[in-house]
């Protein structure tokens, strides 16, 4: 891990189409046939969170997680979005993404780069800022 929070795109940099093909192959091996052209469901709109230095999207059906994609699409490799008819689900980064990343990147160990964002019980950027200051011995 470098000086960034990992996304699906940074994890598979340079091999975007190859990794999509590999995803289709894994689905096929699991006995799942994905449509050649996958539509996108309108809801639910999923929110990205940070776990161990990675932007993740949590599956609303099976509670698996996949790296968040910059194109705003989500496909769970656990259930293959069965509840959404094998369609992509929309997934978004928070509007305060840059600030969240800047705070988390001050932490040297990726295992300590976590932010649960809107997920219950929720964590605001102000909460993250206070936590960071407390751990650095600073006041907010």
Give per-residue pLDDT as tens, 80-100.
999 999 899 999 999 999 999
- Does residue 119 belong to any structural domain of this protein? yes
List pLDDT tens digits, range 11-32: 877 677 777 788 889 999 999 8
Q: What domain count does the chain have?
A: 1
Alpha-carbon distances of 134 from 50, 100, 110, 130, rounded to whole Å: 19, 16, 18, 6
- Does residue 12 belong to any structural domain of this protein? yes
Exposure letters 52-91 (e unless 16+ CB within 10 A, then b)? ebbbbbbbbeeeebbbbbeebbbbbbebbbebbebbbbbb
Helix (H, G, I), strand (E, B) or coil at 121: coil
Beta bridge partners of 55: 50
Do 81 and 61 form a contact (C-beta atoms < 8 A)? yes
Which structural domain range is residue 51 located in? Answer: 8-136
Do 62 and 46 form a contact (C-beta atoms < 8 A)? no
- Does residue 130 belong to any structural domain of this protein? yes
- Does residue 3 belong to any structural domain of this protein? no
What are phi and psi for residue 131, nearest 5 degrees? -60, -45
Residue 36 has pLDDT above 80, yes or no: no
Tell me the whole-structure pTM to 2 decimals: 0.83
The Cα 126–Cα 123 span in angstroms is: 8
């Amino acid at each position: 891990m470098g000086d960034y929070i990992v996304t699906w795109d940074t994890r598979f940099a340079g091999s975007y189409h190859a990794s999509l093909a590999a995803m289709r192959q894994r689905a096929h091996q699991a006995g799942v046939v994905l449509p050649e052209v996958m539509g996108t469901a309108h809801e639910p709109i999923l929110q990205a969170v940070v776990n161990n230095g990675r932007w993740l999207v949590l599956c609303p059906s099976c509670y698996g997680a996949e790296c968040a994609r910059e194109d705003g699409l989500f496909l769970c490799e656990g259930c293959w979005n069965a509840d959404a008819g094998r369609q992509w689900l929309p997934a978004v980064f928070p509007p305060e993404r840059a600030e969240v990343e800047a705070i988390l990147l001050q932490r040297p160990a990726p295992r300590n780069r976590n932010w649960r964002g809107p997920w219950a019980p929720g964590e605001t950027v102000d909460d993250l800022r206070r936590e960071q200051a407390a751990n650095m011995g600073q006041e907010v």
